[in-house]
Chain A
Amino acid sequence: MLEISGLTKSFSGFVAVADVSFTVDTRQIAAVIGPNGAGKSTLFNLITGHLRPDSGRVLLDARDITGVAPHETCRMGLGRSFQRTNIFPLLTVFENLQSAFLVHYGRGRNFWSRSESFYRDEVEALLVSIGLREQALLLGGTLSYGNQKQLELGLALAIDPQVLLLDEPTAGMSASETHETIRLLQRIADERGLTLLFTEHDMAVVFGIAQKIAVLHQGHLIADGTPEEVRNDPEVRRVYLGHGLSQ
């Protein structure tokens, strides 16, 4: 479903991502891990078109999306949620999601109708699905951190992606919130047949649900395989020594 080959990107001499290749199969849950500065965010930005790679290709469902602009990759089925919550603060939760639907269904060209009437049912359904029905009329910026992350997810899902990229979905969460979020993710991925690719620092989460793990270190891919394979990889152990990998 998602195939990355030979992606390379450097910034004024600093190599952020170096010749990274891996694939994620349809409906697979994959994770990219690595110490800070390993290049995970850059990799995500390259996949979604936020950055143009110096070389290499990104294939989504066999279509070449290398360097395609973010608003286009969205339409092609790539969704993304951000590490630092990236929502629309002065719009209500309802309006946040409704906007995504409006764009997804191409209503942006409608200059005439009143926007609040569109896609109310779809928004309701999504709100229930991500557990934010109570907060529908609150302004996005006033939500708690956890709720904002849920809204993040909602925005990413509203555009009906085939592949969902999640940048540290449980960052800053307590153990119980993390558990909730992961269960939610699994359920939604199952319901919608999504392919998930996420980055995380919480190894319990990674080894808990990922079926495939790619390990980045200083821009290079040093391991790529099942959780068992990665756990036993000597190179990975060396890099992560002391980072709780042995759990």
Chain B
Amino acid sequence: MSEQAESAVGMPSRAGWQVPWTLIVFLVALSLPWIGSRYDTFLGTQIAIYSLFALSLNLLLGTTGLVSFGHAAYFGIGSYACGILMKIVAVPFWLAFPAAGLIAALFAAGFGFFCVRLTKIYFAMLTLAFSQIVWAICFKWNDLTGGDQGLPDVPFPDLGWMAALPGFDRMRIAEQFYVLALVLVALSVAALRRLTGSPFGRVLTTIRENPERAAFIGVNVRLYELAAFTIAGGFAGLSGALFGIFNRGVFADFVFWSKSADVMIMTILGGMHHFWGPAVGALVLTLLNQQITAYTEFWPFVLGTILIVLLFVFPGGILGALDVALSRMSKRRDA
């Protein structure tokens, strides 16, 4: 699917006008606290946050072609930054949130500087090494991060003002936070969308397609990769900040490599060649996880099997498979 077709907001219907799917999904999601249960809102928050996390990874994976095994590092750094600022330094959320993103981006820039000088497997291994270093520090630095105990009881932001809005007065704070998180995620995703469709994003795709050729049309490949790495890290940090609050606590396992693997699987599951793929992957994986862990402890086995099936049968992920199915249907229609 070419980028031009991709950047259309919706999928063309037979009548020729485009259905604004993203707007519809957003509105439905927004109405969740009213139309769904408390558990639905709980899941919704988790899915929204992981969507942003996975979409940030896809800036590296799907757009630029960089395979990072350590993306959880920035998720974790954002969580800790926001949690520490809000809980210990008593900074209000509207400051702590962007600060968390900025701090994560700074770390990404620092680590990224070394990583982009390497290619392929070496790049991946260095991202893994850095993220494990971050994990080890989080796990051990008791004074700052609470060590293996983590940082429990991260406070909710002050959402009293929300109660003044119509329809919001009888919402629990978790639901109010859901709405806030959803809006923030939507804004971040919109920014990412803009970014991937911009000339900057286009240059990133040339790097993905053919880094050598990109250099020969004048692209400073390392610089662009570093920029992508930094931006992706920043958005991961923002998602982490939200997650720390949602989870009522920040813990070292946010940074563990298995988290990096999980978000990568989400991205691939949904389809890394589509902008919305990672979000779809986050949705499906979260729901699957909830369902399956209720019945069995062998979730890793299930996850591994799904991944294998994915790799062999649906390498383009869910949206990739949908693409193929739709084009087959339209070919039959035209025939």
Q: Do chains A and B touch in the complex (CB under 8 A)?
A: yes
Residue numbers in B under 8 Å from A131 (CB-CB):
none
Which residue on chain B has the smallest CB distance to residue A155? B217
User: B225: shortest Cβ distance to chain A, in Å?
Assistant: 12
Q: Is there an interface contact between A70 and B202, defined as CB atoms closer than 8 Å?
A: no
Which residue on chain B has the smallest CB distance to residue A80? B216
Residue numbers in B under 8 Å from A86 (CB-CB):
210, 212-213, 216
Q: Is there an interface contact between A95 and B210, defined as CB atoms closer than 8 Å?
A: no
A183 interfacial contact with B, CB 8 Å: no
Q: Which of A20-28, A34-42, A114-122, A222-230 contacts B (4 or more CB under 8 A)?
A: A114-122
From B7, B202, B216, contact of A48 by CB (8 A)? B216
Residue numbers in B under 8 Å from A12 (CB-CB):
none
- Chain B, interface size: which category? 20 to 34
A104 to B219, CA, bound (A): 9
* A window 128-158: CB within 8 A of B: 137, 139, 155-156, 158
Interface centre among B195, B202, B220 (most CB of A within 10 A): B202
A86 to B210, CA, bound (A): 7
User: A227: shortest Cβ distance to chain B, in Å?
Assistant: 29
Q: Is there an interface contact between A108 and B209, defined as CB atoms closer than 8 Å?
A: no
Residue numbers in B under 8 Å from A98 (CB-CB):
202
Q: Is there an interface contact between B213 and A114, defined as CB atoms closer than 8 Å?
A: no
Bits for B187-214, please: 1 = Cβ < 8 Å to A, else 0.
0000000110111111101100110110
B252 interfacial contact with A, CB 8 Å: no
Bits for B105-120, please: 1 = Cβ < 8 Å to A, else 0.
0000000000000000
A102 interfacial contact with B, CB 8 Å: yes
Q: Is there an interface contact between B198 and A71, defined as CB atoms closer than 8 Å?
A: no
Q: Is there an interface contact between A92 and B4, defined as CB atoms closer than 8 Å?
A: yes
Q: Is there an interface contact between B215 and A110, defined as CB atoms closer than 8 Å?
A: no
From A88, A116, A139, A159, contact of B218 by CB (8 A)? A159
22 contacts between A and B (CB under 8 A): A48-B216, A69-B215, A70-B216, A71-B218, A74-B216, A74-B217, A87-B210, A88-B205, A88-B213, A91-B209, A100-B218, A102-B202, A103-B203, A103-B217, A109-B199, A109-B200, A111-B195, A113-B198, A114-B198, A115-B199, A156-B216, A159-B218
Q: Is there an interface contact between B198 and A111, defined as CB atoms closer than 8 Å?
A: yes
A208 to B161, CA, bound (A): 80
A70 to B212, CA, bound (A): 9
A115 to B195, CA, bound (A): 10
Q: Is there an interface contact between B203 and A111, defined as CB atoms closer than 8 Å?
A: no
Q: Is there an interface contact between A99 and B7, defined as CB atoms closer than 8 Å?
A: no
B2 interfacial contact with A, CB 8 Å: yes
B224 interfacial contact with A, CB 8 Å: yes
Q: Is there an interface contact between A100 and B4, defined as CB atoms closer than 8 Å?
A: no
Q: Is there an interface contact between A112 and B198, defined as CB atoms closer than 8 Å?
A: yes
Residue numbers in A under 8 Å from B205 (CB-CB):
88, 90-91, 99
User: A18: shortest Cβ distance to chain B, in Å?
Assistant: 26
Given known contacts A88-B206, A103-B203, A103-B206, what 18 new A-B pairs fall within 8 Å (CB)? Answer: A74-B215, A80-B216, A82-B216, A87-B213, A88-B205, A89-B210, A91-B205, A95-B3, A95-B4, A102-B199, A102-B202, A108-B219, A110-B198, A111-B200, A112-B194, A115-B3, A115-B201, A115-B202
User: B4: shortest Cβ distance to chain A, in Å?
Assistant: 5
* Number of A residues, CB within 8 Å of B: 40
A103 with B218, Cβ < 8 A, contacts A95-B202, A108-B224, A118-B199 known: yes
A107 interfacial contact with B, CB 8 Å: yes
User: A97: shortest Cβ distance to chain B, in Å?
Assistant: 10
From B200, B212, B215, contact of A108 by CB (8 A)? B200
Residue numbers in B under 8 Å from A100 (CB-CB):
217-218
Which residue on chain A has the smallest CB distance to residue B200? A111
A242 to B234, CA, bound (A): 63
Q: Is there an interface contact between A99 and B217, defined as CB atoms closer than 8 Å?
A: yes
A88 to B206, CA, bound (A): 6
A75 interfacial contact with B, CB 8 Å: yes
User: A104: shortest Cβ distance to chain B, in Å?
Assistant: 6
User: A26: shortest Cβ distance to chain B, in Å?
Assistant: 22
Q: Is there an interface contact between A92 and B2, defined as CB atoms closer than 8 Å?
A: yes
Residue numbers in B under 8 Å from A102 (CB-CB):
199, 202-203
Which residue on chain A has the smallest CB distance to residue B209? A88
Interface centre among B199, B213, B221, B224 (most CB of A within 10 A): B199
Which residue on chain A has the smallest CB distance to residue B205? A91
* B window 28-63: CB within 8 A of A: none
A99 with B197, Cβ < 8 A, contacts A80-B216, A86-B213, A92-B4 known: no
Residue numbers in B under 8 Å from A91 (CB-CB):
2-3, 205-206, 209
6 closest Cβ pairs, A-B complex: A88-B209, A74-B218, A107-B199, A70-B215, A110-B199, A100-B217
Which residue on chain A has the smallest CB distance to residue B224? A108
User: A185: shortest Cβ distance to chain B, in Å?
Assistant: 18
